[in-house]
Structure 1
Amino acid sequence: MQKLRYTAFLVVSILAGMAAGTSFAQTKEVYSAELMRGLSNKGAHVTKPYITAGDRTYIVGTQNGDFPDLGSHVKGEMGGLWMAPIKLLDGFWLKLTDSDKNDATWLNDASEFITYPYGSKFSYKPVLDGIQVERFQYCPQGKEGMIITYTLANTTNKPRRLQLDFVVKTDVSPVWYSAENNIIDAPDSISWNAKRAVYSAKDTKHSWFTVWGSSVPTSGHALNVPTPTETIGLGKSASSTHSVALKPNEHLTAVFVVAGSTKTSELALASYEAILKNRDQLLREKQAHYAAIINRAKIDIPDKKLQQAVNWGKVDTEWLVSDLPGIGRFLGAGAIEYPWLFGCDNSYAQQGVVALGGHELAKSTLRTIKQVSEKTNANGRIIHEMSSNGFVGNKGNTQETAQFAIAVWKVFEWTGDVAFLREMYPYIQKGIHWLLVDQDKNGDMFPEGYGIMEVKGLNAELVDVAVYTQQALEVAAKMAAIVNDPKSQKDYAQKAALLKNKVNTLFWDETEGSYCDFYGTREQAITTTKGAIEQVQLDLEADKQSAALAKKQEFYKTLLAHLETLPAGTQRGWFTNKNWVISTPIESGIAPSAKAIRLLDKVRTEHTGEYGPYLSAVERRNMMTIATGVQAVAEAAYGRTDESLWYVNKIVETFSRVLPGSISEMMPDYGCPAQAWTIYGLAVPLVTHVFGVQPDAYKKAITFAPHLPSGWDSISLAELPVGDNLISFAVQKTGKGVQYTLNSKTADWHYTLKLANLKGKNYVLNGKTLVANSDELPIQGKSATVLILD
């Protein structure tokens, strides 16, 4: 049967531009059209979660259109309709009744789910002898509400009279980490506003409100009605009844709007009425918003699966953006369990975001992290996790303070925003003091405390903490030069050099051919190992059949026995957990080449599973996009392009495994179905290594040092924002040599093409044949074509 057509939710101009053989260089509308058409689950994964995202509201349910209890942070309550920091509804359902036959059915089992960048669609099998239904929903940008539409088609040659019962289960309740702060959920109350034909619900203890209604006249309403899916919580159910008539082969759309407020019912009602009235315009704005994101930093590469994953990665990232009143605009960590603010996750994610042109999101996210950290800690320490109610659940693991400084510098390289850098610099200075004084009790320059791997007992001088502290010192020295702080510049640069040497000597285990998990005493190694044994025991109690866990337990018991034979006070690097962060010295580029290559080969052959490095090569169970992404960046840092793309494509292999258009946090198909830091592993190796874009927006300069993978003959990157400039760059292998094409919006920038073994080669620059004097070729002007002759 022919699918229904929504005139509202596909941009006609985009579809009209599509044609067979359309190339990358054509219109923005053509480039974004493929993504704007959405992706289907093809009837699979119907009980897996999805997210319909907006920056003020979002909807989480399952891909069959239902709203079962989901999630663990607030157990069973992470699904539903949300307007951070509160939940509005547990869910909604539609019951259809044939008014002539009194035959009824619930629409709670969609046969197909399609995710669009800007919304979600559910298609149902025909019901009631020829009634076809599709549901489409979206959350407008910047609005405290959401829109649900049902399009009903009469596919018969007889007139039909239908009754629609829109049933809602409220759950006006707070986000995670509220009860711990004495914000206690209370039962809901519901009232019917006959004049406005809307329902209003309120938490009876707090000023939290939900309002909902429809574009279709209401013929009845009722409280405490049954729902097809039972949900936990203190909410109540209600239904509104709507009678409609359909002529033969006619279709109509019923619109329902849900809105909320954390202040007054009048504000919730005002939001409801404004959204209902302007719904078509709001949809067009939402589509335009996502089209602009897709068309920013447009890539064209031979690997179309990777190209698709990167483009959807831009979309997935935007799904996680939250504009939280009183807090700021920031990128949340993941849907559905972690939609709030994280320090570590964003320090990785913003490097990918800014490499794909998301300058304002990167700056606003880091500003928010800094402001919340300053309010919470005041001493330079960067928070780990803040719930959407503004409460901080973890004041910060040690490495996050160093990572923040690195992320700020990366964003500055792309934006050249000196005001932003000056704003961040004083708190970064405090952070370095916190790392090297407060967290370095023995004065060896290795800060103590938990790092990325939150493993029981692993509270020591960790490799990721040491490496990122060294990198923080390097970038802080560069910041000091920009803000005219020569004393700090010299101090930070000297300490960075010293710490680099200490990491490469004290953390390196020559026998293992690897950097160690941590540096410390025999006693610390014993404590860490005992903590690992306790953690494994807890895991085994939950999964007694796991052979991998049992093997891991034996490894640690054997290791503990060995450690206890060593002399007391023995101090060295310890290779205990074999965690993926042993690659951070290579990711950062501070490892000597011989050590880097040796460990890269070791990780690939000994520590890697089907989708990249194991989180722990002892356990050999779990893999995550961030670990695989870091390994891809590590390979790229040492010029191993094909090896880097091997890891990148391991991430790509998991694309759409659970949620169409997205990549799960835990590879290949569990954890959060959308995760912010995945963009790090997709964008950074591609943009900064394969395309070789090395920005210095402050000096209005860009170096291009491209590395084409084996089998790639051409690549192009168009409309990439760098500072106030917009550049396009392409590489094309030809019969005469390799051609490099550059175009930019602004004339007063300086460009350099950097290629290995370029010196002495003949090249043609804008039609003139010359000889390269070095491996770096300066390029002037807004556009240039360089052909390096074979």
Structure 2
Amino acid sequence: MKSLVKRENLSEKKGSNKSGVTGSLYVTAGEKCKAIGWQDGLFRDFGHHLEDEMGGIWVHPIKIADAFWLSIDGQFYKADEYETLPYGNIFRYNLPCGVNIKRFQFSPDEVKGLAIKYIFENATKEKKRLELKFITRFDLLPVWFSKENGILDFEDSACFDEANQVIVAKDQGHDWYGLMGCNFNIDAGCVTITKEHIGHCETVGKGVCASITKTIELAPHGEQTITFYLVGSYIDKNDALEDFHRLKKDEKALLENKIRRYQAIKSRTDLKTDEEDFDQVFEWIKYNTDWLVADCGKYGRGLTAGIPEYPWWFGCDNSYSIQGLLALGEFELAKQTIMLLKNYSEKINGNGRIVHEITTNGMIPNPGNSQETGHFITAVYNYWRWTGDVDLVKDVYDYCVKGIDWLLNEMDEDRDLLPSGYGIIEIEGMNVELIDTAVYTCQALFCIYEMSKALGKENKYYLETAHKLKKIINTRLWDEKEGLFVDAVGTPRQIIERIDILLKRSKESHNITITEEYKAYLDNLKEQLSTLPADEELPFIINKNWVINIPMETRIADTDKALIALKTMRSEDFVGKYGVYLSGFMHKHIMTISTGVQAVAEGRYKCVNHSLELLKRMCSTFSMVLPGSISEMSPDYGCFTQAWTVYAMMVPVVECFAGICPAAHNNKLTIEPCVPDAWSKMSLTNIRVGSARIDFTFSRQKDREIYSVTSTGTLDIDFIPAGSYREIKVNGLAHEGHIRFGAGTTVIELVK
């Protein structure tokens, strides 16, 4: 399998999230354990949510250690080379004494632990003797937002359990454990346990240090391998010991399992085009997404938002990410994530509202922004059309019904079909009637109508209301002069209050800098508003945030307006070197989601050349921080791996370029391809639709396009050519009318 290497300046970015930069970090990811450190092989404190505690070794919902280090003859060394593998990490050291070290580490998905293997190679003709000390700074503490809920961090202690050949650390207030052991026999005299810091650097917290010392001898050009194991448990000591002994005994088999699983990930929805670099990014985003899966036992399993600062579950992020998961055939993960969001939302809210975020111990810091409820309903519908799983629809339908009722009643006091409340952009005070909430509510109404029909509960109110809201969006929320959809609807009094909040926050915060041009716009808008009736609701453009693309992303926008808005948003006001700015007024921040939504929007209206161009801008940030990954904030800060990037890449490529439009719930598939002009060939193989597998290939030769579609299963497939052609052949024979076929291989030739 592919791997990506960084050889120089492994920790050149020494900032932290405090300054907006995560630095040259890496993750060793398993579903039950994640290690987050620096690419030079060392660990340092950093982090925002838990200040200085977001790195280290995590067995969510607890952290078990700040760091581990290996000293050699009393010295700590930085790696000369770092390499990302899909399933682990490699660090290489070239010691002055002529010994080379290869450190490989991985986290199996079956156990809550980490294996760290050191391979020592003597590159000289002389025998070498090395004194090794493997040190772990245990620091057992709970995930963010625990303190607010009475879950406190206590002092840690540790002891050597000689019978089990393991050092056991424990939080004194909880049954939380961290274990350290190795693949050789440990003599009690070689173990040190102390509250003092004996590692490479001091770390914050109430932890305890433990070390194992061993002397090794290397023959000339000889080699020796030593492996250490770190395991944790938030359940009890026996659970930790069980995982430790399994990891130690079955390490090789667990690694083989992991490699096989990643080979399967690679083979699903496998992309090949003219551009190998693009294909490589597509492939690695699949791996990145898998790194974000968290299995937290009784607290649930699902896709988390980002590493290192958002390693828990989100309603908004997953309503996007689930669409990418489905395009990749990750049906089981999509289902588990949907049910996790629904179950916690029902437990905490109960009224249909979808929670915004869930920590990995089940705490809810935010019960939900208005946009997330409609967005979630659409995610459920998308899951249904990709999988055909009507049982899940039955499980969540009643809660979705409550969600629509919550949006159109409690959150829509004036009954204008525009729910109020915060949306995706969590700017203080921006809790009026927002474009993203309006559009995702409209989309949800269309979706829930289809689900009501399938369950024999057809409710035409949903369809009628959806059409009414769609008309409102395309009239009241359309600004003809600007050629854009508006940000919000509110009264002049409300908007003036929010402008004042925005200006005040900019003045007080060094992280929010409003340009003079934007300030002049806001001042002028305030002056205009002061002449209008204070309590009459009107549409406004406040900050030209990227969410004004959502009417096009969802195809709620009328085609004529969509094409005008997309053209407007291709300008330098909205698009920078690495993608789409968060705000058309503020040319500072870019995220993969802002770029991705516009790429999808372009693709929905067959503007695929523009869509691909945006994706290439996003892809140009690949490996800037972590080899093999794209950062949340373009080009190189925020989370170094972010879940919604899977939406940004997969939905345009699979649904827009290849034109895969599943309706597995009706045993149908529509393929309406529109391959960008830059590609003379494209293949997507092993696409899951329901129980079927689809292979799609395309080639362009002068005046003709050739498509080959191979399908298993019983899907009825409609192929819709994009544009008009003077001649159509199906399996070598002239064809007129609809192109419809089923299982097997069908070749379609289109001649211009």
* Shorter-normalised TM range: over 0.9
| 2:500 aligned residue (530, 543, 546) | 530
Q: What letter matches 1:243 in structure 2?
A: T
1:539 paired residue number: 509
1:28 paired residue number: none
Q: What letter matches 1:588 in structure 2?
A: T
Alignment of 1:552-701 (within 5 A): 552-605=518-571, 606-701=573-668
Report the more deviating stretch, 601-610 or 140-149: 601-610
2:255 paired residue number: 283
1:40 paired residue number: 5
Secondary structure, aligned partner of 1:257: strand
Alignment of 1:61-72 (within 5 A): 61-72=37-48
Q: What letter matches 1:337 in structure 2?
A: E
Q: What letter matches 2:731 in structure 1?
A: N
Report how far residue 143 of structure 1 moved.
0.7
Alignment of 1:163-312 (within 5 A): 163-219=131-187, 220-224=190-194, 226-312=198-284
Consecutive unaligned residues in structure 1, runs of 5 or more: 1-32, 98-103
Q: Tell whether 2:90 aligns with 1:114.
A: no
Whole-Å separation in 2 of the counterparts to 1:744 and 1:767: 18
Structure 1 contact 93–227 (Cα < 8 Å) conserved: yes
Q: Deviations over 1:400-419 (max 9, x none)?
A: 00000111111111101111
Whole-Å separation in 1 of the counterparts to 2:481 and 2:142: 53
Structure 2 contact 10–82 (Cα < 8 Å) conserved: no
Q: What letter matches 1:619 in structure 2?
A: M
1:3 paired residue number: none
Q: What letter matches 1:788 in structure 2?
A: L
Secondary structure, aligned partner of 1:357: coil
Structure 1 contact 737–788 (Cα < 8 Å) conserved: yes
Report how far residue 568 of structure 1 moved.
2.8
Structure 1 contact 354–362 (Cα < 8 Å) conserved: yes
Change in 2 beyond 3 A, CA 1:132/1:534:
same
Whole-Å separation in 1 of the counterparts to 2:51 and 2:274: 44
Structure 1 contact 537–553 (Cα < 8 Å) conserved: no
Secondary structure, aligned partner of 2:685: strand
1:719 paired residue number: 686
Structure 1 contact 536–553 (Cα < 8 Å) conserved: no
Q: Tell whether 2:442 aligns with 1:470.
A: yes
Report how far residue 736 of structure 1 moved.
6.7
Report the more deviating stretch, 576-585 or 398-407: 576-585
Q: Deviations over 1:392-436 (max 9, x none)?
A: 000000000000011111111110111111112111111000000
Whole-Å separation in 2 of the counterparts to 1:211 and 1:569: 63
Q: What letter matches 2:69 in structure 1?
A: W
Report how far residue 637 of structure 1 moved.
1.3
Q: What letter matches 2:303 in structure 1?
A: L
What is the TM-score normalised by the length of structure 2?
0.96
2:722 paired residue number: 756
Whole-Å separation in 2 of the counterparts to 1:261 and 1:175: 14
Q: What letter matches 1:626 in structure 2?
A: I
Whole-Å separation in 2 of the counterparts to 1:177 and 1:549: 34
Whole-Å separation in 1 of the counterparts to 2:505 and 2:449: 40
Whole-Å separation in 1 of the counterparts to 2:439 and 2:324: 20
1:320 paired residue number: 292
Over the residues paired in the alignment, what is the CA RMSD in angstroms? 1.5
Alignment: residue pair count: 736
Q: What letter matches 1:665 in structure 2?
A: E
Q: Deviations over 1:707-729 (max 9, x none)?
A: 12113211111111110001101
Structure 1 contact 356–720 (Cα < 8 Å) conserved: yes
Q: What letter matches 1:84 in structure 2?
A: H
Report how far residue 639 of structure 1 moved.
1.1
Whole-Å separation in 2 of the counterparts to 1:638 and 1:614: 21
Consecutive unaligned residues in structure 2, runs of 5 or more: 15-23
Report how far residue 327 of structure 1 moved.
2.3
Q: Deviations over 1:753-781 (max 9, x none)?
A: 1013447x4322223233x22xx411234
Q: What letter matches 2:93 in structure 1?
A: Y
Consecutive aligned runs of 4 or more in structure 1 exceeding 6 Å deviation:
none
Whole-Å separation in 2 of the counterparts to 1:559 and 1:52: 50
Report how far residue 745 of structure 1 moved.
2.0
Structure 1 contact 173–185 (Cα < 8 Å) conserved: yes
| 2:92 aligned residue (119, 123, 127) | 123
Whole-Å separation in 1 of the counterparts to 2:156 and 2:533: 64
2:19 paired residue number: none
Sequence identity (%):
38
Whole-Å separation in 1 of the counterparts to 2:9 and 2:387: 42
Whole-Å separation in 1 of the counterparts to 2:146 and 2:749: 62
Report the more deviating stretch, 274-283 or 256-265: 256-265
Report the more deviating stretch, 439-448 or 237-246: 237-246
Structure 1 contact 345–677 (Cα < 8 Å) conserved: yes
Report how far residue 551 of structure 1 moved.
4.7
Secondary structure, aligned partner of 1:186: coil
Q: What letter matches 2:359 in structure 1?
A: S
Report how far residue 735 of structure 1 moved.
5.8
Secondary structure, aligned partner of 2:583: coil
1:13 paired residue number: none
Secondary structure, aligned partner of 2:94: coil
| 1:767 aligned residue (732, 735, 745) | 732
Structure 2 contact 693–711 (Cα < 8 Å) conserved: yes
Whole-Å separation in 1 of the counterparts to 2:163 and 2:332: 43
Report how far residue 523 of structure 1 moved.
1.2
Q: What letter matches 1:396 in structure 2?
A: G
Whole-Å separation in 2 of the counterparts to 1:399 and 1:709: 32
Whole-Å separation in 2 of the counterparts to 1:139 and 1:393: 29
Whole-Å separation in 2 of the counterparts to 1:611 and 1:474: 34
Whole-Å separation in 2 of the counterparts to 1:783 and 1:594: 37
Q: Tell whether 2:106 aligns with 1:138.
A: yes
Report how far residue 579 of structure 1 moved.
0.9
Structure 1 contact 82–89 (Cα < 8 Å) conserved: yes
Structure 1 contact 86–174 (Cα < 8 Å) conserved: yes
Alignment of 1:360-371 (within 5 A): 360-371=332-343
Q: Deviations over 1:89-139 (max 9, x none)?
A: 110100112xxxxxx4213x1111111110011111223x11111211111
Q: What letter matches 2:171 in structure 1?
A: D
Change in 2 beyond 3 A, CA 1:283/1:492:
same
Change in 2 beyond 3 A, CA 1:781/1:269:
closer
Q: Deviations over 1:516-558 (max 9, x none)?
A: 1101211121122112112212334x57xx5x54554444333
Secondary structure, aligned partner of 2:82: strand
Secondary structure, aligned partner of 2:377: helix
Change in 2 beyond 3 A, CA 1:205/1:780:
closer
Structure 2 contact 62–141 (Cα < 8 Å) conserved: yes
Whole-Å separation in 1 of the counterparts to 2:163 and 2:325: 47
Report the more deviating stretch, 146-155 or 262-271: 262-271
Q: Tell whether 2:120 aligns with 1:152.
A: yes
Whole-Å separation in 2 of the counterparts to 1:91 and 1:231: 9
1:20 paired residue number: none
Structure 1 contact 529–559 (Cα < 8 Å) conserved: no
Structure 2 contact 380–393 (Cα < 8 Å) conserved: yes
Structure 2 contact 673–722 (Cα < 8 Å) conserved: no
Report how far residue 179 of structure 1 moved.
0.6
